[in-house]
């Protein structure tokens, strides 16, 4: 019986070590997935930021290129000196 008990403890210990190693691999996988997701979100935010400026002012270039009509007079704006 003593031999069975020692063998049983060794088997239990080995199973425990294997389970810990499996969980460590699983955690490493989760952390890698989280890092990839974070990187994708960061890249998407950068891309969206660059596009947002252009999209928010789609007529900016057209306004710069528009000719002012002949006879147009800018209104007088008061100044406070």
Q: Provide the token pair at 28.
A: 């490493």
Confidence of residue 69 (pLDDT cuts 50, 70, 90): confident
Cα radius of gyration (the chain): 35
Task: Write down the pTM of the prediction.
Answer: 0.47
Q: From residue 64, how far is each of 30, 59, 71, 74 by CA, in Å?
A: 51, 9, 19, 17
pLDDT digits (tens, 9 = 90+) for 3-46: 567 678 888 999 999 999 999 999 999 999 999 999 999 888 88
The DSSP letter of residue 68 is P
For the chain, helix, strand, coil in percent to 5 are 75, 0, 25
Confidence of residue 58 (pLDDT cuts 50, 70, 90): low
Tell me the domain boundaries of the chain: 2-55
């Amino acid at each position: 019986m003593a031999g069975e008990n020692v063998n049983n403890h060794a088997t239990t210990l080995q199973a425990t070590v294997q389970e810990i190693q499996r969980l460590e691999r699983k955690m490493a996988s989760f952390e890698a997935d989280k890092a990839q997701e974070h990187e994708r979100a960061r890249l998407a935010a950068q891309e969206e930021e660059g596009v947002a400026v252009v999209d928010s002012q789609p007529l900016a270039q057209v306004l710069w290129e528009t000719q002012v009509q002949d006879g147009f007079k800018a209104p007088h704006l008061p100044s406070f000196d």
